[in-house]
Chains A and B, each alone.
Chain A
Amino acid sequence: MAEKFDIQDREVWDGNYAASQALRQARVDVVAAYPITPSTPIVENYGAYVANGYVDGEFVMVESEHAAMSGCVGASAAGGRVATATSSQGFALMAEVLYQASGMRLPIVLTVVNRALASPLNVRGDHADMYMGRDSGWIQMDAFNSQEAYDLTLCAFKIGEDHAVRLPVMVHQDGFITSHTAQNVYPLQDDKAYDFIGDFKPVDDLLDFSRPVTYGAQTEEDWHFEHKAKQHKALMDSRPVIDAVFEEFEKLTGRKYNRVESYNMEDAEVVIVALGTTVETAIVAAQQLREEEGIKAGVVAIRCFRPFPFDQVREALKGAKSIAVLDRSSPGGAMGAFFNEVSAALYTTDTRPLVTNYIYGLGGRDFSIDEAKRIFKEQKAHADAGYITTDIQQFSGLRGPKLGYFQTQRG
Chain B
Amino acid sequence: MQDQNLCAAENRGVKELGGEHVGWDEVTQGIVLTSFNGDATGIVHQKAEERHYSDFNSYTASVASWRVEKPVFNIDVCIDCQNCWVWCPDTSIISRDKQMLGIDYDHCKGCAVCVEVCPTNPKSLLMFSEQTALDTALAAWPEKKKKEDK
Q: Which residues of A contact B (CB under 8 A)?
A: 103-106, 166, 203-204, 209-219, 222-223, 225-227, 229-230, 233-234
A212 touches B24 (CB 8 A): no
Closest residue of A by beta carbon distance from B23: A226
Q: Which residues of B contact A (CB under 8 A)?
A: 16-18, 21, 23-25, 27, 29-36, 39-41, 43, 56-58, 63
Closest residue of A by beta carbon distance from B34: A213
Cross-chain contact of A219 among B17, B29, B40, B57 (Cβ < 8 A): B17
A205 to chain B minimum Cβ distance, whole angstroms, is 10
Residue of B17, B21, B30 ringed by the most chain A CB atoms within 10 A: B30
Q: A216 to chain B: which residues have CB within 8 Å?
A: 31
B24 touches A226 (CB 8 A): yes
Cross-chain contact of A223 among B27, B29, B30, B41 (Cβ < 8 A): B27
Q: A222 to chain B: which residues have CB within 8 Å?
A: 16-18
Q: How far is the CA of A227 from the CA of B23 in the complex (A)?
A: 10
Q: How far is the CA of A66 from the CA of B112 in the complex (A)?
A: 30
B23 touches A104 (CB 8 A): no
Q: List 27 A-B contacts (CB under 8 A).
A: A106-B30, A203-B29, A204-B29, A204-B30, A204-B32, A209-B40, A210-B39, A210-B40, A210-B41, A211-B34, A211-B40, A212-B34, A212-B40, A212-B43, A213-B33, A214-B32, A214-B35, A214-B56, A215-B31, A217-B17, A217-B56, A219-B17, A222-B17, A226-B18, A226-B27, A227-B27, A233-B25
A31 to chain B minimum Cβ distance, whole angstroms, is 22
B30 touches A212 (CB 8 A): no
Closest residue of A by beta carbon distance from B44: A209
- 9 further contact pairs, Cβ within 8 A, besides A222-B18, A234-B29: A104-B30, A166-B30, A204-B32, A212-B34, A218-B17, A226-B21, A227-B27, A230-B25, A233-B25
A105 touches B29 (CB 8 A): yes
Q: How far is the CA of A213 from the CA of B37 in the complex (A)?
A: 10
Q: How far is the CA of A105 from the CA of B40 in the complex (A)?
A: 24
Inter-chain contact count A-B, CB under 8 Å?
78
Say whether, besides A210-B39, A212-B36, A222-B17, A104 and B24 are in contact (CB < 8 Å).
no
Closest residue of A by beta carbon distance from B54: A214
B17 touches A225 (CB 8 A): no
A215 touches B40 (CB 8 A): no
Q: B18 to chain A: which residues have CB within 8 Å?
A: 219, 222-223, 226
A105 touches B30 (CB 8 A): yes
Q: How far is the CA of A4 from the CA of B24 in the complex (A)?
A: 47
A223 touches B35 (CB 8 A): no
B53 to chain A minimum Cβ distance, whole angstroms, is 10
Q: B56 to chain A: which residues have CB within 8 Å?
A: 214, 217
B34 touches A217 (CB 8 A): no
A103 touches B40 (CB 8 A): no
Q: A214 to chain B: which residues have CB within 8 Å?
A: 32-35, 56-58
Q: How far is the CA of A226 from the CA of B23 in the complex (A)?
A: 7
Q: B29 to chain A: which residues have CB within 8 Å?
A: 105, 166, 203-204, 230, 234
Q: How far is the CA of A125 from the CA of B143 in the complex (A)?
A: 69
Closest residue of A by beta carbon distance from B61: A218
Q: A105 to chain B: which residues have CB within 8 Å?
A: 29-30, 32
A178 to chain B minimum Cβ distance, whole angstroms, is 32
B97 to chain A minimum Cβ distance, whole angstroms, is 24
B30 touches A103 (CB 8 A): yes
Q: B31 to chain A: which residues have CB within 8 Å?
A: 103-104, 215-217, 219, 223, 227
Q: B21 to chain A: which residues have CB within 8 Å?
A: 223, 226
A212 touches B17 (CB 8 A): no
A328 to chain B minimum Cβ distance, whole angstroms, is 33
Q: A106 to chain B: which residues have CB within 8 Å?
A: 30
Q: How far is the CA of A131 from the CA of B56 in the complex (A)?
A: 36
A269 to chain B minimum Cβ distance, whole angstroms, is 44
Q: How far is the CA of A299 from the CA of B43 in the complex (A)?
A: 60
B27 touches A104 (CB 8 A): no
A215 touches B57 (CB 8 A): no
B35 to chain A minimum Cβ distance, whole angstroms, is 4
A204 to chain B minimum Cβ distance, whole angstroms, is 4
A213 touches B27 (CB 8 A): no
Which 4 pairs between the two chains have the least Cβ-Cβ distance? A105-B30, A226-B24, A229-B24, A214-B33
A48 to chain B minimum Cβ distance, whole angstroms, is 34
Residue of A106, A214, A215 ringed by the most chain B CB atoms within 10 A: A214
Closest residue of B by beta carbon distance from A203: B29
Q: A234 to chain B: which residues have CB within 8 Å?
A: 29
A213 touches B24 (CB 8 A): no
Q: How far is the CA of A215 from the CA of B25 in the complex (A)?
A: 19
